[in-house]
Amino acid sequence: MNKDIRKKPIKILFVCVANLCRSPLAKIIAEKLYGGMVEAESAGISPAHCPVYEEAVCVAEKSYGADFAGHKTRHVLEYPLDTFDYIIALDSSVHAALMDMKPVPKDRLFMWEIADPCGFGIEAYERMTRIIEVELDKFLRCHGFID
């Protein structure tokens, strides 16, 4: 499907463990690269209650012109999950946890294997965002949203 033809945005919920770097950055990437076509949110299966990692804030600002230093973590079950077209678990352990959560619509659940960059420096965050960009492009192509 050509993105110009679709009338309403594709709703994607990205889910990681703590909702501190992978899923918030995936949300930013989706909205910056496919704004208007993708409406994204982020959540965690075990959200942390601490500030977003400095490296994640730096990459968001430098690479995407986005500010999410004030990001508030959320648990996946805080969202009305049936309103999302797709729920993307950002690693196999998150996917397994989501499979065990009764309200998660399994027919809309997908998994990407995105390594957690926490503790590995800014370069790991930059690599992670490039991988998310590639995975998102492949996902949208595979599902017919872009040519």
Top mean-pLDDT range of 2-6, 55-59, 70-74, 126-130 = 126-130
Give the mean pLDDT of the chain.
Answer: 91
Specify the 3-state DSSP secondary structure of 41.
strand
Specify the 3-state DSSP secondary structure of 111.
strand
Q: Which neighbouring-strand residues pair with 131? A: none
CATH value of 10-142 in 3.40.50.2300, 3.65.10.10, 3.40.50.2020, 3.90.180.10: 3.40.50.2300
What's phi and psi for 3, nearest 5 deg?
A: -60, -20
Domain boundaries, the chain: 10-142
Q: Is the pLDDT of residue 3 over 80?
A: no
Instruction: Specify the pLDDT at position 31.
Output: 93
Instruction: Specify the pLDDT at position 6.
Output: 54
State pLDDT tens for residues 99-117.
999 999 999 999 999 999 9
Q: Is the pLDDT of residue 8 over 70?
A: yes
Q: Is the pLDDT of residue 29 over 90?
A: yes
Q: Is the pLDDT of residue 2 over 50?
A: no
State pLDDT tens for residues 63-103.
998 887 678 899 999 999 999 999 999 999 999 999 999 99
Instruction: Specify the pLDDT at position 117.
Output: 93
Cβ neighbours of 96 (radius 10 Å)? 12
The token duo for 17 is: 């463990």
Residues 6 or more apart whose CB falls under 8 angstroms from that of 33 comprise: 133, 136
The token duo for 64 is: 């995407």
Share of the chain above pLDDT 70, in %: 95
